Amino acid sequence: ARPGGFPPPPPRPPAASPWRALWKQEENNTMRVHVFRCVSFEGEPTESDEMRPVQWFPADALPLEEMWPDVPHWLPVVLRGESFLSRFDYGPDEELLPNFRVIVQ
């Protein structure tokens, strides 16, 4: 069995893949998310509901307090180039519940 009862991870994307988070929301409100990291980008970023206005930030000065509460627990792992498995549960008012876990691989 894998640590924390997690299933095996999906295959790693090719190094040239663009960054993206893939997610699927299940009927029981569970979301499965895959986060990919890239080290270069060409083009112009596009505004979204969660990123307005579009801004670039130095990696050591990210506005983590403006992001979802789980982000400070996993984004530093991604920025170090490491893989991880995690589980974050949110309450009815979108508050992060304390039973979360992050396992760095």
Predicted model pTM: 0.66
| Residue 18 contacts residue 38 (beta carbons within 8 Å) | yes
Instruction: Kindly report, residue by residue over 20-43, the tens digit of the pLDDT.
Output: 444 445 556 667 788 888 888 888
Q: Is the pLDDT of residue 48 over 60?
A: yes
What string of DSSP letters covers 45-89? ---BTTB-S-----GGG--GGGS-TTHHHHHHHHHTT--EEEE--
* For the chain, percent of residues with pLDDT exceeding 70: 71
| Residue 73 contacts residue 89 (beta carbons within 8 Å) | no
| Residue 71 contacts residue 51 (beta carbons within 8 Å) | no
